Structure 1
Amino acid sequence: MEVTLLGTGDTTGTPTVQCDCDTCERARDPDEELRANVRERGIDPTGGVERSRFSVAVENDTTGESLLVDLSPDFRHQFLRESVPLPDAAIITHIHFDHLDGLGNAYRLFDELPVHAADETDPVTDESVAEAVRSRYDYLDTVSVHAQTPLEPFTVAGFEVTLVPVTHPPLLCYGLRIEEPQTGAVLSISGDTCYDVPDRSKSVLTGADLALVEGIVHPEACEYHPKGGTHHNEDGVPRTFGTKHMTLPGARDFAADIEADDYRIVHTAHYVPADRAFADDIGLDGEQFML
């Protein structure tokens, strides 16, 4: 299994348009320390470093198929930048635009693109993620939507995949366990979530070779959020930012909770101070992992 981080940022990405904060400026013009760091990760820092909107490409070494998790609005840029094949199938974790709106790129690029999403009806929208995708993109004749029941494994692109409910109010959202049956390699993805993930979902995500865990900001940012931060650790550090995202310490604790062999924090915002925003365990676009 080959995993490529196509997009590792939050809704606005890093660098953010017209933002001159220290983090965005360092991303645009990396200093020598950051350049050396990203080269060690296998990323070319020419032109700066980036966290575009979230998306992950997963290639099946055995079948030669490719699976795309979430369709970023930066789809075109990501696939021009990275040497990964167009997907044979895709999965949508939830209906926020930064995880969904790249589906419009299926126009003229695909003869057929099966898209898998949860069949559970959201009480807020009165439709499932699968139904929302089907209704919003009904004009795409090449896209077929396949509804899947959370916590029930299904097969796509040669992988065994399980959608797991996480906590991202007010909308339903799902993480993923992706296993390559022939090799036993496992990728777990937390999805957009706060630290309070249901125990059954945590159990499914446990024991991965690699976990991609969302962590949006540093814990000090919680004091500026109208709802603060919750789920504090034993030292009183908030693990959740507001109600629906993990802090960086929360993501690290979650990766430990699910006993991942390795992990990267993803969906990270440019608000993280520049001296902490590029830590080794926070993902960058273009990182690749062989599992």
Structure 2
Amino acid sequence: MEVTLLGTGDTTGTPTPGCECGTCQRARELGVERSRYSVHVTNEETGESLLVDASPDFRYQFLTQEVPLPDAMVISHIHFDHLDGLGNAYRLFEDLPVHAANEVDPKTGESVADTIRGKYDYLDRITVHDHAPFETVRSCGFDLTLVPVDHPPLVCYGLAIEKGDTKLSLTGDTSYAIPDRSKEVLSDPDLLLADAIVPASLCEDHPIGGRHHDPEGVPRTFGTKHMTREGALSLAEELDAERTRLVHLAHFYPPEEAFEEPLAVDGERYGI
């Protein structure tokens, strides 16, 4: 499979519009971007491709990256930076399968699949397919398994994409508190894409600080919703990932750290 990181940023992206912070300025100097999160995966044997999450930057991403429009999508959760790009499907597709979890969210009273179906009821060329967490389904020649992670207050899912002995694991938006059963599904990936919104040092600036501290006292969760860089790297070690790229990155990284390995930028491609 060929994996293209279309969007590696958080909800505002980097550079953030109107922001003159050192990291946004450095991104402009380097000519790199972190648009809102989205991952494109191509099955080189069948020529089919899968899109994980529909970034609001969908149009821009597909105009600037040399990847085909997807044959199917998976949506991890309903926050706008992962879902609202689906409106771009209007007039672009004849029939687009959209895969999402069927688990009812106590916060919204409906599943991710239900929310997509209701919000985009005018898109008669998309078909929403409901799946139970941990159910493995086939799409684009891949085996897909959505797994619950921890992104309060909404349900959110990580994803394992497998083809033969090859595995791509995506944590989705999550704190470090991923359930053990989900970790089992995500374990031993050839490539791990892990949420790492900020470095642990910035937890002191969060109103509730950090959580899930490691034995040295370093927080692996920033607030309640996202892993720190250090948390994502701890998870990668725990999952025994062969290769790790950190994604869903905020522009709050200090400029001297913001573009260091293994922090990803848009346009990276990996053959696994």
* Secondary structure at 1:29 match in 2: helix
Equivalent residues in 2 for 1:35-184, closer than 5 Å: 48-181=31-164, 184=165
Counterpart check, 1:233 vs 2:197: no
Between the aligned partners of 1:265 and 1:139, the Cα distance in structure 2 is: 35
TM-score (norm 1): 0.93
Are residue 267 (structure 1) and residue 234 (structure 2) matched?
no
Shift in Å at residue 279 of structure 1? 1.1
Report the Cα offset of residue 241 of structure 1: 0.3
The number of residues matched between the two structures is 272
Give 1:269 deviation, angstroms.
0.1
TM-score (norm 2): 0.99
- State the alpha-carbon separation in 1 of the partners of residues 151 and 261 from structure 2: 26
Quick check: 1:219 aligned with 2:204? no
* Unmatched segments (≥5 aa) in structure 2: none
1:25 aligned partner, one-letter code? Q
Structure 1, residues 92-131: CA drift from partner, whole Å, max 9, x if none?
Answer: 0000000000000000111111100000000000000000
Equivalent-residue separation in structure 2 for 1:13 and 1:280 (angstroms)? 18
Cα displacement (A) at 1:169: 0.3
Q: For residue 249 of structure 1, report the CA deviation from its aligned partner.
A: 0.4
- The 3-state SS of whatever aligns with 1:257 is helix
Provide the secondary structure at the position in 1 that maps to 2:184.
helix
Deviating above 2 A after TM superposition, structure 1's stretches of 4 or more consecutive aligned residues are none
Instruction: Report sequence identity in percent.
Output: 61
Question: 1: distance between equivalents of 2:69 and 2:166?
Answer: 21
Q: Deviations over 1:151-207 (max 9, x none)?
A: 0100011100000100000000000000013xx211000000000100000010000
- Give the 3-state SS of the residue equivalent to 1:254 in structure 2: helix
Secondary structure at the counterpart of residue 186 of structure 1: strand
2:232 corresponds to 1:251: yes
**What residue in structure 2 maps to residue 44 of structure 1?**
none
Residue segments in structure 1 that go unaligned for 5+ positions in a row? 31-47
Aligned residue for 1:108, secondary structure, equals coil
SS at structure 1 position matched to 2:262: coil
Aligned partners of 2:86, 2:72: CA distance in 1, in Å?
12
Does residue 195 of the first structure (1) align with residue 165 of the second (2)?
no
Secondary structure of 1:116's partner?
strand
Q: Which amino acid aligns with 1:93?
A: S
* CA drift at 1:221: 1.3
The alpha carbon displacement at 1:240 in A equals: 0.2
Aligned residue number for residue 10 of structure 2: 10
Q: Per-residue deviation at 1:219? A: 1.1
Output the CA distance in 1 between the equivalents of 2:40 and 2:166: 15
Measured after TM superposition, the shift of residue 227 of structure 1 is: 1.4
